[in-house]
Amino acid sequence: MCGIVGYIGHREAYPLIIKGLKRLEYRGYDSAGVVLYDGTDLKLSKTKGKVSDLEERAVKEISLNGSIGIGHTRWATHGVPNDVNSHPHLSNSGNLVIVHNGIIENYEPLKKELIKRGYVFKSDTDTEVLINLIEDVQKKDNLKLGKAVQVALNQVVGAYAICVFDKQKPDEIVVARLGSPLAIGLGKDEFFIASDASPFIEYTSNAIYLEDEEMAIVRLNKPMKVRKIKDDSLVDPYVQELQMNLEQIEKGGYDHFMMKEIYEQPNVIRDTYRGRLHANEGIVRMAGVEDNIEKFTNAQRILIIACGTSWHAGLVAEYIFEEFARIPVEVEYASEFRYRNPIISDKDVVIAISQSGETADTLAAIKLAKEKGAFVFGVCNVVGSSISRESHAGAYTHAGPEIGVASTKAFTTQITVLTMIALRLAKIKGTLSNSEYHRYLLELETIPEKVKEALETNEISKQIASVYKDAPNCLYLGRGYNFPVALEGALKLKEISYIHAEGYPAAEMKHGPIALIDEQMPVVVIAPKQGHYDKVVSNIQEIKSRSGKIIAVVTKGDEQVRALADHVIEIPETSDALSPLLTTIPLQLLSYHIAVMRGCNVDQPRNLAKSVTVE
Ligand code: F6R
């Protein structure tokens, strides 16, 4: 969490940093700050609130000149979000300044030691400890900044991506990474530093992504050097050509990124299977799977690890893998998996699902699985992300940047990738008949068009939203493949509208949640024709007889449920296994409209951040 931006070169740094921070606000938006060196001194402005609050403040508070600067948008870990705890942080001398994304776990003993040595602290942050540690090291041994950063980082336990500079030497920025991402954009006589490449894509298409335990000193008019923090060895960094473009990270006429991303789903699902799925020829292939095909076909078990929405995609995949490929699957929250003593062997395939590829718990779970000998396959969206690099192999979802904090297109593209893997394994293992296999390939190819049709439910979703926008609670029910969709629908509603919502397997309702049902309770039931339709209809009747308000997501033309429900949302017909790709669409729209009507910040819900890089 937290976004950092740095610039050194020949342009004015301030506008570039502010624009960059806005693009990184998905990473955290509790507070923001910027520091510039204007040729005479450091000019620092920081505030609780969003980058727009910082802009208002900075223009009154500091001169905005300078072609070196660093900025930060924060998701608070240590210390409440207030002005003082906001980054950048200065060292006691006022010479050094830092922005930091991550957590210094051993900051307390370090702080105690520094206090003994006469340092004073203004904030409650671990970051202020780090910058003073760097200063202390620098002073003690009269070290250059880069060396001092390196020595200090070797004393630190935790995670970080940092940018540091010294006002006495304002022609270099020192950057380092462990556990939190950091990209360096390479321009002509200029460098851009950021948590991801979005802040600088209009300036350069060449970037270096620092690896864990690497640091770099970016200097004006000097070649950049990348080193290992531990042993000081030089690294030859890989210069990546960026594929992102500006249009992808702008709202494109929509009011919110979330809505833009919901509407992108037909296209991005197509992008996900493009070149991999050739339905007419009966082929589905992904390089990462083909290169490791025996690992998959010999797997005694597939273990899926993920968090949040990605975990829900994993649950859908559990049903799909077991049905198509007859391989036992377990799905685990990464945060639980890593802290028990899981039984894993080299016969297990671990699939780690992550949009950002930076989720700390998922990353740690992968490392544990690897230590125990499992083969790890990553399903990530962000190219070059930590999880994609840490995995033995993987497949990207190709959904493009997802900026709205609530995940939408990541979910459907993850399911698309996982479905393709399951189909490939089914083909090799002969666990689906030829006709079933071909039917699924052809059906998967039709999904983008059907998602487009499902998006036509926007108006009806909006009307339903206006009826229930003030409800304090909401239940979501589904069975089989659509039980995870119920969980996902509830998560979408609660995270962006702050309405309490729960998802259940529909049949579980009578084991407790049914007690909640009265005439005030909206219940969203996912009831497509395929699957356990009759059973779900019985569940709908149980809700109706207790006066619950029923919002049903049904297959087009379903008159039986229409006669029972208060509202129906019709989606196109598809097979049971692929139905989550369609049923989830109206649930995304419903949450979106409810949140907008309640005046919530849809793209930046309170307390959340897009990539959860702390455990
Ligand atoms: C919900 C949401 C989160 C993420 C979770 C995992 O809308 O976005 O629940 O799904 O934090 O993130 P990734 O997929 O980046 O590992």
Q: For the residues of 41-55, what is the DSSP string, one character each?
A: SEEEEEEES-HHHHH
The answer on 285 and 182 residing in a single domain is: no
Which pLDDT band holds residue 207 (cuts at 50, 70, 90)?
A: very high
For the chain, percent of residues with pLDDT exceeding 70: 100
Question: What is residue 298's predicted lDDT score, i.e. its pLDDT?
Answer: 93
| End position of a domain, from candidates 201, 220, 248 | 248
Q: What is the distance between the alpha carbons of residues 450 and 454, in angstroms, rounded to a whole number?
A: 6
Q: pLDDT per residue over 59-108, tens digit each? A: 999 999 999 999 999 887 777 889 999 999 999 999 999 999 988 989 99
In a domain, 614, yes or no: no
CB atoms within 10 A of CB 184: 25
Q: Relative to the CA of 611, which ligand 1 atom is closest?
A: 15
CB 523 within 8 A of CB 547: no
- Residue 71 CB-density burial (10 A; 0-12 exposed, 13-18 middle, 19+ buried): buried
pLDDT at 615 over 80: no
* Domain containing residue 285: 256-432
Q: pLDDT per residue over 444-457, tens digit each? A: 999 999 999 999 99
Q: pLDDT per residue over 372-425, tens digit each? A: 999 999 999 988 888 999 999 999 999 988 999 999 999 999 999 999 999 999
User: Tokens representing 167?
Assistant: 């006002």
pLDDT at 221 over 90: no
| End position of a domain, from candidates 192, 219, 248 | 248
In a domain, 134, yes or no: no
The answer on 286 and 210 residing in a single domain is: no
For residue 356, the CA-to-ligand 1 centroid distance in Å is: 8
Q: Residue 120, SS3?
A: coil
For residue 386, the CA-to-ligand 1 centroid distance in Å is: 15
More confident of the two residues 582 and 384 = 582
The answer on 272 and 390 residing in a single domain is: yes
Q: pLDDT per residue over 541-576, tens digit each? A: 999 999 999 999 999 999 999 999 999 999 999 999
In a domain, 386, yes or no: yes
Mean pLDDT calculated for residue range 211-222: 93
For residue 202, the CA-to-ligand 1 centroid distance in Å is: 27
Active site residue 610: yes
In a domain, 505, yes or no: yes
pLDDT at 610 over 90: no
Question: What is residue 608's predicted lDDT score, i.e. its pLDDT?
Answer: 81
Location of structure tokens 């070059």: 384
Q: pLDDT per residue over 592-607, tens digit each? A: 999 999 999 999 888 8
pLDDT at 335 over 80: yes
Q: Which of 50, 111, 549, 610 is catalytic?
A: 610
Active site residue 2: yes
For residue 172, the CA-to-ligand 1 centroid distance in Å is: 35
Here the CATH number for the domain that contains residue 593 is 3.40.50.10490
Atom 16 of ligand 1, nearest CA residue: 354
The answer on 319 and 210 residing in a single domain is: no
Atom 3 of ligand 1, nearest CA residue: 308
Atom 9 of ligand 1, nearest CA residue: 308
For residue 259, the CA-to-ligand 1 centroid distance in Å is: 17
Residues with CB under 6 A from ligand 1: 307-310, 354-356, 359, 362, 406-407, 491, 495, 611-612
Rounded to the nearest 10 degrees, how much is the dihedral formed by the CA atoms of 586, 587, 588, 591? 120
Location of structure tokens 């129906």: 568
In a domain, 128, yes or no: no
pLDDT at 579 over 90: yes
Q: What is the distance between the alpha carbons of residues 286 and 266, in angstroms, rounded to a whole number?
A: 20
Q: Relative to the CA of 612, which ligand 1 atom is closest?
A: 11
pTM: 0.83
Question: What is residue 81's predicted lDDT score, i.e. its pLDDT?
Answer: 84
Q: Relative to the CA of 312, which ligand 1 atom is closest?
A: 10
In a domain, 127, yes or no: no
The answer on 71 and 42 residing in a single domain is: yes
CA angle at residue 417 from 414 to 419, to 5 degrees? 105
Q: Which of 2, 163, 380, 474 is catalytic?
A: 2
CB atoms within 10 A of CB 476: 28
The answer on 471 and 384 residing in a single domain is: no
Q: Relative to the CA of 356, which ligand 1 atom is closest?
A: 15
- Residue type for position 529: K
Q: pLDDT per residue over 41-52, tens digit each? A: 999 999 999 999
Here the CATH number for the domain that contains residue 188 is 3.60.20.10
Q: What is the distance between the alpha carbons of residues 546 and 519, in angstroms, rounded to a whole number?
A: 7
| End position of a domain, from candidates 208, 232, 248 | 248
Mutate to test the pocket of ligand 1, among 612, 613, 615 (most ligand atoms within 8 A of CB): 612
- Residue 615 CB-density burial (10 A; 0-12 exposed, 13-18 middle, 19+ buried): middle
Mutate to test the pocket of ligand 1, among 387, 407, 485, 492 (most ligand atoms within 8 A of CB): 407
The answer on 202 and 343 residing in a single domain is: no
Question: What is residue 103's predicted lDDT score, i.e. its pLDDT?
Answer: 86
Q: Residue 34, SS3?
A: strand
The answer on 225 and 270 residing in a single domain is: no
For residue 358, the CA-to-ligand 1 centroid distance in Å is: 10
Question: What is residue 246's predicted lDDT score, i.e. its pLDDT?
Answer: 80
The answer on 408 and 332 residing in a single domain is: yes
In a domain, 208, yes or no: yes
The answer on 400 and 534 residing in a single domain is: no
The answer on 263 and 233 residing in a single domain is: no
In a domain, 449, yes or no: no
The answer on 556 and 463 residing in a single domain is: yes
Number of domains in the chain: 3
Q: What is the distance between the alpha carbons of residues 327 and 316, in angstroms, rounded to a whole number?
A: 14
